[in-house]
Amino acid sequence: MPTVLQGATNQAQPGQDGPVPGHLLSLRETPEEEIQGLLDLAFSFLEVLEREVKKVPTLRGKVVACAFFEPSTRTMKSFDLAARYLSADVTTLTGEVSSVAKGESLEDTARALRQMGADCLVIRHPLSGAAHFLARRVDLPVINAGDGRHEHPTQGLLDLLTLRERWGDFRGRKVAIVGDVLHSRVARSDIWGLTKLGAEVCLFGPPTLLPERPELLGLPGRVRVARSLPEALEGADAVIALRLQRERQKRGLLPSLEEYASFWGLRKEILDRWCPEAFLLHPGPVNRGLELDGEAMEAPRSLVEEQVRRGVAVRMAVLYRVLAGRAGSSG
């Protein structure tokens, strides 16, 4: 596993000098019209998922390469299925069995996949900026499937799709995002997507798990930080619970997991009391009993399983956008 990539960082924001066209690297860089267009397309692909034979010939002959250097169930498998439903071929490489484990660089790995015929690269990596790094260095469209604590744009899109089906319009909607904002790439993509579409976002979490300037994570004036859980939840139309990212944390950020669950964990009775009408989302995987209790997750307000299904449609839309019309993989 490389520890140094030029342009990549273990900080939240990659060293970047503007959008890189033809890729999906972040929702921060994706214009609102493009976000809406991807959501429209994803919505139309939901119909394909309802069919008995979930297959359309749209991307026949294209090759999707997925390279995952961190664990994943939803993202990896939904990209895999999305590619297959569009009739593309798909090949998946995971960090522990790749030649990166023998010292090969990420760039050389991507170049090797390209030479084998890949038409696009889906990358998950622990370093923020890894997707930007590859987009600038390898002649392949790159889709960011989660880079460090920077962004997870397809998760942001599927969260938007799930809520757009309920609301239609995001203007005037209030969304509370609760938990480990500091380490959450999902929160960053959600905040950019939600505020671009017109929602207001209220953040709440332990002070040690909030970034230094959280109000700068989305469009100006649309992000604020609550001082208490009731303040964050009251009046919310949706609540997004974040996974506690213990794998990214330094020691000493939390008193104990029990206290985290008690002060910042979302339980059914708390949601029922402060925001009885709000939808509940969580990107998964869920630490049941820590950031979210099982009763809340199973309640009718919970959209957690819908999110997973919409993830496949969103990834079909993103693959279609990136690959349809692109010339063959030779050259």
Q: Kindly list the residues in this chain that would bind ligand CP in the complex (CB under 6 A).
A: 72-75, 146, 152, 155, 283-285
Nearer to ligand CP (CB atom), residue 6 or residue 73: 73
Nearest-approach distance from CB 74 to ligand CP, in angstroms: 4
**Structural contact between residues 187 and 12, judged by C-beta atoms closer than 8 angstroms:** no
Nearer to ligand CP (CB atom), residue 146 or residue 206: 146
Nearest-approach distance from CB 111 to ligand CP, in angstroms: 25
Nearest-approach distance from CB 229 to ligand CP, in angstroms: 23
Hey, how many other C-beta atoms are within 10 angstroms of the C-beta on 146?
27
Helices (H), 209-256: 229-233
User: 3-state class of 121 per DSSP?
Assistant: strand
Degrees to nearest 5, angle at CA 298 with 72 and 173: 85
Nearest-approach distance from CB 172 to ligand CP, in angstroms: 27
Nearest-approach distance from CB 168 to ligand CP, in angstroms: 25
Nearest-approach distance from CB 77 to ligand CP, in angstroms: 8
| 95: region left, alpha or beta (phi > 0 left; psi from -120 to 50 alpha) | alpha
**The amino acid at 192:** W
Nearer to ligand CP (CB atom), residue 14 or residue 283: 283
CB burial of 269-296 (b: ≥16 within 10 Å; e: otherwise) equals ebbeebbeebbbbbbbebbeebbbbeeb
CB burial of 44-70 (b: ≥16 within 10 Å; e: otherwise) equals ebbebeeeeeeeeebbeebbbbbbbbb
Nearer to ligand CP (CB atom), residue 74 or residue 174: 74
Nearer to ligand CP (CB atom), residue 219 or residue 266: 266
Strands (E), the chain: 63-68, 89-94, 120-125, 142-147, 174-178, 200-204, 223-225, 238-241, 279-281
Could you tell me the two tokens for 100?
């990166």
Residue with tokens 């370093």: 127
Nearest-approach distance from CB 71 to ligand CP, in angstroms: 6
